[in-house]
Amino acid sequence: MQIDVEVEEPSDLPATQLVTWQVEYPGDITSDLGVSKIYVSPKDLIGVVPLAMEAEILNTAILTGKTVAVPVKVVSVEDDGTVTELVESVECRSSDEDVIKAS
């Protein structure tokens, strides 16, 4: 997954920005729109990346009735290569908890 975020005038913006995003799957299938709040800082970030801690995510809950849980870590990457885990500034929500529940 790749997320590209560009802030044109960081000195004129509030501390947070809302970003609308959507996941595209193979075969022209797309998810509902998601909205994330991003905290803007004066650092030279080149990316904010959500990392699923498993290589493949297969939701078999509909077949087995058992919950499938995959932890996600969010990191920022600075221009100088510094990688920082974002813990306190990250919040997960789902617009349809019958499909996916975030916690």
- Contact in structure between 50 and 74 (CB atoms under 8 Å): yes
d(CA 51, CA 13): 27
Q: Which of 55, 52, 48, 71 is nearest to 2 (CA)?
A: 48
Residue 21 CA: distances (Å) to CA of 1, 40, 68:
12, 17, 23
Residue 30 CA neighbour count, 13 Å, CB half = 6
Q: What is the model's pLDDT at position 91?
A: 74
pLDDT digits (tens, 9 = 90+) for 43-90: 777 888 888 877 777 777 778 888 777 788 888 888 888 898 887 767
Q: What is the model's pLDDT at position 78?
A: 87
Task: Give residue 40's pLDDT band: very low, low, confident or very high (50, 70, 90).
Answer: low
**pLDDT averaged over every residue in the chain:** 74
- Give the predicted TM-score (pTM) of the model: 0.47
Does position 2 have pLDDT exceeding 60, yes or no?
A: no
d(CA 62, CA 67): 9
